Amino acid sequence: MLIKVIAGAFAACLFSTSAIAAVPTVSIKPNTTVTPGALNPNVKQSNINQNICKANWTSTVRPTVTYTNKLKAAQLAGDYKSFVAIYGADTKNYEEDHLISLQLGGSPSDPKNLWPEPYAGDNARKKDVVETALKRLICSAKISLAEAQKAISTDWVAAYNKYTSAADIKAVDSNG
């Protein structure tokens, strides 16, 4: 799927007069061979009220910007270099994103859980919406932690379509 998206975007770039116009509007997913996702071993269904369901908990485990910026640059030069042809080499075009977000019990610093997600279109924003929606569902006991982790790591776009509502989108929009 990723190869088809990249090939289509590359073709669009070749026939476009503007690199901005050529940026695909499809949702981009990580290369699951190098970014399959990794879990925080300290987060379990039995203790979610002490961590992910606790306000501002992610700030206590978030890796430093120095770490994520170095990793992002290395990934764009290596396993994710195909993104550079589409979205550019500037690391500011990407969010170093957790495949399984911190608010869903993802590993904070394992490279298997981090990838350079393009800001182009609304990729990063949409993924943020589904992450918050899944956290809300976990913390209200509507789905299990494992179910949310599997949904986000298997296909975050399908999870977005299944678990988000207009209210989720509005809540993220109003929180900036």
Give the pLDDT confidence of 87-129 residue by residue, as tens digits. 999 999 999 999 999 999 999 999 999 999 998 877 888 899 9
pLDDT of residue 174: 54
Tokens of 99: 């495949």
Residue 13 lies in a domain: no
Domain residue limits at 58: 37-174
Residue 73 lies in a domain: yes
Residue 56 lies in a domain: yes
DSSP-derived secondary structure letter, 43? -
Domain count within the chain: 1
H or E element: which one contains 96?
strand 94-98
For 82, phi then psi, to 5°, come to: -65, -25
| Block residue for tokens 């929009």 | 173
| Block residue for tokens 């869903």 | 104
Residue 46 lies in a domain: yes
Residue 66 lies in a domain: yes
| For residues 72-99, average pLDDT | 95
Residue 7 lies in a domain: no
Q: How far is CA 78 from the centre of its chain?
A: 19
Residue 23 lies in a domain: no
pTM: 0.82
CB-based contact 22:12 (threshold 8 Å): yes
- The runs of H, that is alpha helices, within 15-142 are 19-22, 65-77, 81-87, 123-139
Residue 32 lies in a domain: no
Q: Which residue has better confidence, 16 or 63?
A: 63
